[in-house]
């Protein structure tokens, strides 16, 4: 979807997240940034449960590699942080952009055991989380530095700094005014301290 003439993204509302298990959708937004050397494209994978940005990529083209690399990074972040973590059962939501409906990206989802979900055309509620993430990215990282970025390397450096700050320091009202990494830490501690008991 195009919004304000410059943002294209995908996502689904957070009510599909299970707070009990921490299983979440992985909405995958992307946007573009104007630089003096031409446009570059920025993609993110966001965990709906914790609001943590798990993967990101800055490229000079909108090829499928942009979104497959972002997904791979997100999966690797989870595997590295949680021994024995598997992606099976997750849902990846996006818009119907050519990158997300490509054979290569679909194969990547299937190989990881992730169900794909494509948004409906013109459904703004479908994209609320990603609209918010892209809006914050543009406001907090891109538009604050002035009229232009030199090239994609400048944008990549800024995205790296912003994602680190967003995940470790920025407070999010939807997760109890905590940064995403701290929220995940508290969630893991609570699950370890009190095992889930199934009601027969």
Instruction: Return the pLDDT at 4.
Output: 27
- Range in 40-44, 106-110, 131-135, 155-159 with the lowest mean pLDDT: 131-135
For residue 2, what pLDDT is reported?
A: 24
pTM: 0.81
- pLDDT, mean over the chain: 81
Using the predicted structure, report yes or no on whether residue 123 has a pLDDT greater than 90: no
Res. 17: pLDDT tops 60: no
pLDDT at 52: 95
- Better pLDDT: 128 or 189: 189
Q: Which carries the bigger pLDDT value, residue 16 or residue 162?
A: 162
pLDDT score for 194: 61
Three-class HEC string of the chain: CCECCCEECCCCCHHHCCCCCCCCECCCCEEEEEECCEEEEEEEEECCCCCCEEEEEEECCCCHHHHHHHHHHHHHHHHHHCCCCCCCCCEEEECCCCCCCCHHHHHHHHHHCCEEEECCCCCHHHHHHHHHHHHHHHHHHHHHHCCCECCHHHHHHHHHHHHHHHHHCCCEHHHCCECHHHHHHHHHHHHHHCCCCCCC
In the chain, what are the domains? 7-193 (3.30.420.10)
Mean pLDDT of 21-43: 78
């Amino acid at each position: 979807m195009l919004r304000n003439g410059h943002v294209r993204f995908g996502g689904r509302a957070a009510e599909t997240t299970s707070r009990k298990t921490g299983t979440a959708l992985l909405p995958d937004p992307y946007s573009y940034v104007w630089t003096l050397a031409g446009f570059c494209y920025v993609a993110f994978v966001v965990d709906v449960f914790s609001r943590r940005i798990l993967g990101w990529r800055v490229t000079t083209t909108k090829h499928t590699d942009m979104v497959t690399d972002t997904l791979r990074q997100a999966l690797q972040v989870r595997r590295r942080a949680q021994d024995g973590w598997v992606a099976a059962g997750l849902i990846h939501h996006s818009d119907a952009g050519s990158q997300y409906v490509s054979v290569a990206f679909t194969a990547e989802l299937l190989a990881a055991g992730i169900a794909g979900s494509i948004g409906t055309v013109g459904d703004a509620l479908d994209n609320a989380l990603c609209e918010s993430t892209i809006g914050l990215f543009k406001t907090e990282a891109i538009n604050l530095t002035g009229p232009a970025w030199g090239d994609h390397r400048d944008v990549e450096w800024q995205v790296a700094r912003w994602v680190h700050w967003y995940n470790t320091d920025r407070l999010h009202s939807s997760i109890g005014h905590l940064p995403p990494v701290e929220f995940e830490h508290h969630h893991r501690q609570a699950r370890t301290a009190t095992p889930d008991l199934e009601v027969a």
